[in-house]
Amino acid sequence: MTTTGTTNFNPNLIDLIEEAYSRCGTELRTGYDLSTARRSLNLLTIEWANRGVNLWTIEEGSVALTSGTSEYDLPLDTIDLLDHVIRTGSGTTQQDLSISRISVSTYASIPSKNNTGRPVQVWVDRRSGATTPTGVESPRIHLWPVPDSATTYTFVYWRMRRIQDAGNGVETQDIPFRLIPCMVAGLAYYLSLKIPEATPRIEMLKMSYEEQWLFASGEDREKAAVRFVPREFYLGG
């Protein structure tokens, strides 16, 4: 049996939109049709971020800490931090030490915010990323204690970033190939809410989208084994 020998199928934005319109029983005709589809696609990717962790958007990053400075900005497209450590040393002397995440109320209740030492707690201020008169509100971390000068500290983190915006037509989307069916199904459902002649297809397209989401989200997850560790309790006597 002769096969193509290729695995390069990766439709661009126009291909995705045309397929979505076809599922709505219509076709891409005007510049407005393209514009409204791009807007729906961007809203769809925001919905995906709200649904949970998208593994392909997890990235490792780091911030070199400065003695006497407790606040540091994160990349603007950061949604949240999934894990983090304080790294000291390098090479064979490198150590990754735990740092606990705390809430804004816990951070606010710390009476001695200017104490110095190795940071052991972090408050992640998930700001909007909007531009204000005073600048861009990047997500920010607040460390406690304030880093001292005893050694060199690096805040190493694993973040979930935003999915990149829909392009102008020829670009491929910022998703793994296995999520392409889900993106097309979701876009078709979103478009059906705006196209009068597609109204009879809304429920069918919604069911198709939810089915594709279950397939995609089930595949886009960690495959590591779960390890249960018993909790130890210490009773004072």
Residue 181's nearest CA partner among 158, 148, 208 is 208
- pLDDT tens-place string over residues 193-235: 999 999 999 999 999 999 999 988 887 666 555 555 455 544 5
Q: In this prediction, what percent of the chain has a pLDDT beyond 70?
A: 86
**Is the pLDDT at 10 greater than 70, yes or no?**
yes
Concatenate the DSSP letters of all residues of 153-214 into one string: EEEEEEEEEPPPPP-SSSSBPSS-GGGHHHHHHHHHHHHHTT-GGGGGGHHHHHHHHHHHHH
Q: What is the pLDDT of residue 74?
A: 94
pLDDT tens digits along 168-195:
655 666 778 888 999 999 999 999 999 9
What confidence tens digit (pLDDT) does each residue in 144-172 have? 999 998 889 999 999 988 877 776 655 66
Place of tokens 């076809």: 22
User: CA triplet 15, 166, 127: central angle to 5 degrees?
Assistant: 160
Residue 131 has pLDDT above 70, yes or no: no
91-108 pLDDT per residue, tens: 888 999 999 999 999 999
**For residue 145, is the peptide bond before it cis, meaning its omega torsion is within 30 degrees of 0?**
yes
The predicted structure's pLDDT at residue 53 = 59
Q: What average pLDDT does this structure show over 50-71?
A: 88
pLDDT at residue 100, rounded to an integer: 95
Residues 130/77, Cβ–Cβ less than 8 Å: no
Q: Which amino acid is at 131?
A: T
The whole-chain average pLDDT of the chain stands at: 86
For the chain, give percent helix, strand, coil, nearest 5: 35, 25, 40
